[in-house]
Amino acid sequence: MRFAKSKSRNGKLRNHIELGFVATIDCAIVIAAQELGLFEKYGLTVRLSREVGWATIREKLSHEELDAAAAHASMLFSIYCGIGVVRRSCLTGMLLGAHGSAITLSNELWDLGVRDAASLGRIIRQHKGSRVFVFAVVLGLSSQNYNLRQWLRSGGIDPDLDVRVIVIPSALVYETYQGGHLDGYCVAEPWNSAASLSGNGWVAIATSEIEPRHPEKVLFSAAGFR
Amino acid sequence: MLQDFAENREEEHIRMLAAMIEASQYCDAPGNRPELVRMLAQPRYFDVDQRLLANALVGPFECGYGRRDANQFIIYDGFKVGRPTHARGKWVLDMVRTLSASELSPVLRPEIIGKVFRDDIFEKAVAFVRASEKKNFSTAPPAPFVPNGASIIKHDERRTETLPALASQNMPVTCPSPKIFSEARPAFMNSKLFDPATTLSV
């Protein structure tokens, strides 16, 4: 067990801060703080732990393998209330940025004439009964899921009835898309650029355009139960 | 006893937030973005070609059919967007309630917002940053960033010189390695030369 020695289960405090992140640009602040030596400047020893996706972050926070993490703001409520995860007291003293995600769609959809939410709605209605279009987000309770649904609705698409929205860890979304399993996705950068720069897809809209300045990741800190 | 990081280690917690506030200002400055891209692209963090990260962080943003201004793609500055205000907490709670099953609504009480969105702690961290500035907390300037095996963007060759290593580079980083970071990596993300002819196929 990698963290057994420093885990609180043995009654001792860690002598460093175990800080989780996922490789998406909305976690850049924690990486920059480490690389710029700012934790050292403030007398801290911080170990960064890269995780594949948000479910892993959520479980590790809940089970005290992480002291803090760059995390979805929703986790403050899901972990505090124990929704789908062991309950743990927590808080945030700082949000780590606003927006930073986008919606990428397939070249097939472009060839079918999709240019925006309204034209996507038309194509989906044309294929009703013959094909279910599949879109990925990175966590159920996420701004990506929320923003994707807002955008789909703006095109007259019911995200619960007209399409299928599935959850895939951030780092695996693009690979899954490349495998031909997705018609589009809403995920943080750089996974939209992975498609648009390689010609494998196109970016329909950035989340900054769907809802400007919406809260994105927070610095999630475990607060413990009294 | 559970570990109370934010409460029992309050001093450390405030210090960590102070470091984050400073880092957020660094990340937000357009002039720092090319360097931020180099930091993030390193194998132990993103392990991707720098061009993938530069697209949104430096811009202009290539959409696949044209380019757009990337200025507002992401905002980092803690003083602009980082304060955990009640209004921001309410936005998040409303989102969570919208995305959750309706039977969870009684659990997701509005009183929780003030418990988890802690503007007061942000204020303490801001005060700590200000006090550190006055005391000149550290006389040593932040160590320069060293590109660590990441490929260098062609049009920017000024960073190819060797710089002294950062102490923090010796800090172990645990990296569970999903498939995308290893053998299954697509050619484009394998630090191979970018071929403009293969883009904009639409």
Q: What is the pLDDT of residues A169-217, one digit of tens each?
A: 988 999 999 999 999 999 999 999 999 999 999 999 999 999 999 999 9
When CB atoms are compared, the residue of B19, B115, B125 closest to A41 is B19
What is the mean pLDDT of the segment spanning A50-78?
Answer: 94
pLDDT of residue A15: 76
- Counting residues of chain B whose pLDDT is more than 70, the rounded percentage is 63
3-state class percentages of chain A: helix first, strand second, coil last, to nearest 5: 35, 25, 40
To the nearest whole number, what is the mean pLDDT of chain A? Answer: 91
A68: which chain B residues are within 8 Å (Cβ-Cβ)? Answer: 5, 16
* Contacts by residues A6-11 (CB-CB < 8 Å, ≥ 24 positions apart): A7/A64, A7/A65, A8/A64, A8/B1, A8/B2, A8/B3, A9/A64, A11/B1
Q: In whole angstroms, what is the distance from residue B68 CA to residue B62 CA? A: 7
3-state class percentages of chain B: helix first, strand second, coil last, to nearest 5: 50, 5, 45
pLDDT of residue B141: 47
Q: A27 CB contacts (<8 Å, ≥6 apart)?
A: A21, A70, A96, A217
Q: ipTM score here?
A: 0.92
Cβ atoms A180, A134 nearer than 8 A: no
Cβ atoms A183, A106 nearer than 8 A: yes
pLDDT of residue A51: 95
pLDDT of residue B191: 31
At residue B156 the predicted structure's pLDDT band, cuts being 50, 70 and 90, is very low
To the nearest whole number, what is the mean pLDDT of chain B? Answer: 73
Q: Please indicate whether, in this complex, the C-beta atoms of A31 and B84 are within 8 angstroms of each other.
A: no
Cβ atoms A80, B116 nearer than 8 A: yes
CA distance A137 to chain B (A): 13
Task: Tally helices (H) and strands (E) across chain B.
Answer: 7, 2
What's the pTM? 0.81
pLDDT of residue B52: 96
A32-36, A67-71, A210-214, B8-12: the lowest-pLDDT one: B8-12
Task: Examine the pLDDT at B57 and tell me if it is beyond 80.
Answer: yes
Q: Please indicate whether, in this complex, the C-beta atoms of B178 and A32 are within 8 angstroms of each other.
A: no
A56: which chain B residues are within 8 Å (Cβ-Cβ)? Answer: 176
pLDDT tens track for B111-148 = 999 999 999 999 999 999 999 888 765 544 455 555 44
Nearest CA in chain B to A40: B168
pLDDT of residue B168: 35
Q: Does B129 touch chain A (CB under 8 A)?
A: no
